[in-house]
Amino acid sequence: MKRKVDPRACRRAFLKGTGAVAIGLPFLEGMPERSAWAAGETPSFGLFIMTANGVVQAERSEPERFWPTQTGALTSASMEAFKADRVTGELSAYADRLLIVRGVNYPGGAQGCGHALGLVQSLTGRGPNPGATNNTATASAKSIDTLIAEFFGAEPLTLYAGAKGGFINEKLSFTGPGQVRAAEGNPFNVYRRLTQFFGTGGDGSDPAAEMLVARRNSINDLVREELNDLKARPQLSKDDIDRLDQHFQSFRDLEITMVEMGLSCSEESVDVSALEAISNGDAFRRNGTIEQVVKLQLELAALAFACNAYNVATLQAGDGTDGTRYEVGGRTTESFHHISHRIASDGTNGPAIAGAFETHEAIDRIRMQTFAQGIQRWSETSVDGGSLLDHGFMMWSSHNATGPLHGWSNLPYIIAGSGGGVLRQGQYVDAGGVLNERILNTLARANGVPEGDANMIGSGVIDAMLA
């Protein structure tokens, strides 16, 4: 039976301050009415992260540099032992919270570069629209985040990181066949949404945002009086008060990080010139900043979940042919898409790029280090007597399996978090060549959707993933 959540329920989870701004509250045991969940019900959260251009797994004459050395238990010691040769070793500190899954394929057949064709299958578990080419591909079904959100009577949070080349932009979250959901690539706009600025002036301006700029304050300063009143309530335990302090420190940390990137406000002021630059669409999508933006979006997703504002979210990192130019070994690399093909071209012919395989490996390590920071943030974010890793999961993947050939067999999947105890932890498993609908269904189950529910894709899960 579907559990519908009144959209107004989430409003109760927000602390209003100064009459114009509201900030999400974490789950507080002493104030259960502020939770969007029924009494005794365990919240569940899911973030689906999709990157581009495949990973450095064995292909043609290239050696294996991605997967762990053997299936079975993962420990920090075992992952450290293969870290020099396998990029997943970068996650060794979180071995006991990981579930790495190989042996999962897309249902459609690969055509050429296959970026759009792969993206539209990644969360739908279905082949692209009939007759699609890499230029025209779109989804033939709803994506799993939409199905999960519909189960809860809500909407998913859709995030983006990186530049957009205009060829293949958002193609991850779909409300139905061919109906892509826009994703927000500006972390400052996500931050504003989570702090619930609302209301508009006659000229279309946002008075709450204007007030924040005019007063040159942190968002915390605008609700400080209300926050202190809340902390003084006798029904709140010391754990509740500590959780509140941690929650609002997270907001402050985000503000500081965003001002360092020229995106938002610090605890002392709002950088007005940076806001103006953002309005021109510059800083957050400048080539080379993709990993910084991914980190911010991972933190914002953590806040969104801790506020009970969303149950499920997606993050598309890079457009279809992600041309990010990374900094590797003190130099700016060629386009990541070119590196992934090992040639200086978006097609199949072009001059070879010297050291392209090694550069791709270095980029994969950077991506793993970014993911590790997200895992750390989730481990520090408290929700209902545990961390987000206890009550949710982050899935990291790429819409292509490999570099040069961009195949769709043996897609890379790394899951951090147990999804409320549904998922196994500290394991590397082989799913045996199943279609990706099964891994999506398994994760939907970890996100709170009962197995076999109409809001799953087809039928079947991956038993090896279940605790």
Residuewise pLDDT in 10s, the chain (467 residues) = 454 444 333 433 456 555 555 666 676 666 654 444 444 566 789 999 999 999 999 998 999 999 999 999 999 999 999 999 999 999 999 999 999 999 999 998 766 677 889 999 999 999 998 887 777 789 999 999 999 999 988 999 999 998 887 678 899 999 999 999 999 998 878 877 776 643 444 344 555 555 544 444 566 776 777 778 888 888 888 888 887 887 777 777 777 666 655 543 333 333 334 434 444 456 677 787 899 889 889 988 988 888 778 899 999 999 888 899 999 999 999 999 999 999 998 877 889 999 999 999 999 999 999 999 999 989 988 777 788 999 999 999 999 999 898 889 999 999 999 999 999 999 999 999 999 999 999 999 999 999 889 999 988 999 999 99
Q: Check residue 253 and give its pLDDT.
A: 74
Q: Check residue 219 and give its pLDDT.
A: 67
Distance CA 409, CA 343 (A): 22
Q: Check residue 275 and give its pLDDT.
A: 37
In degrees, to the nearest 5, what angle opens at C-alpha 61 toward C-alphas 407 and 318?
40
pLDDT in tens, 144-197: 999 999 998 899 999 999 888 767 889 999 999 999 999 999 887 887 777 664
In 327-449 the beta strands, taken as DSSP E runs, fall at 327-328, 331-332, 382-383, 386-387, 392-398, 413-416, 427-435
- Going from the C-alpha of 421 to that of each of 66, 111, 149, 425, the distances in angstroms are 27, 39, 20, 9
Q: Check residue 217 and give its pLDDT.
A: 58
pTM as predicted: 0.84
Distance CA 214, CA 380 (A): 33
Query: Token digits for 75?
Result: 């420990």
Q: Check residue 9 and give its pLDDT.
A: 39
Query: In degrees to the nearest 10, what's the CA dihedral of 269, 273, 274, 279?
Result: 130
How, if at all, do strands 331-332 and 179-180 pair? unpaired
pLDDT in tens, 102-136: 999 999 876 667 788 999 999 999 999 888 777 77
Q: Check residue 386 and give its pLDDT.
A: 83
Reference 255, options 192, 301, 199; nearest CA is: 192
Residue 187 and residue 284 in contact, taking contact as beta carbons nearer than 8 Å: yes
Q: Check residue 278 and give its pLDDT.
A: 44
Q: Check residue 345 and give its pLDDT.
A: 85
Report how far Cα 200 is from the mean position of its chain's Cα atoms.
30
Superfamily name with CATH number, domain 42-186+281-465: Alkaline Phosphatase, subunit A (3.40.720.10)
Measured between its terminal Cα atoms, the distance across the chain in Å is 23
Neighbouring residues of 144: CB distance < 8 A, sequence distance ≥ 6: 48, 123, 124, 125, 440, 441, 443, 444, 457
Which stretches of 152-237 are DSSP H helices?
A: 187-194, 207-215, 219-222, 224-231
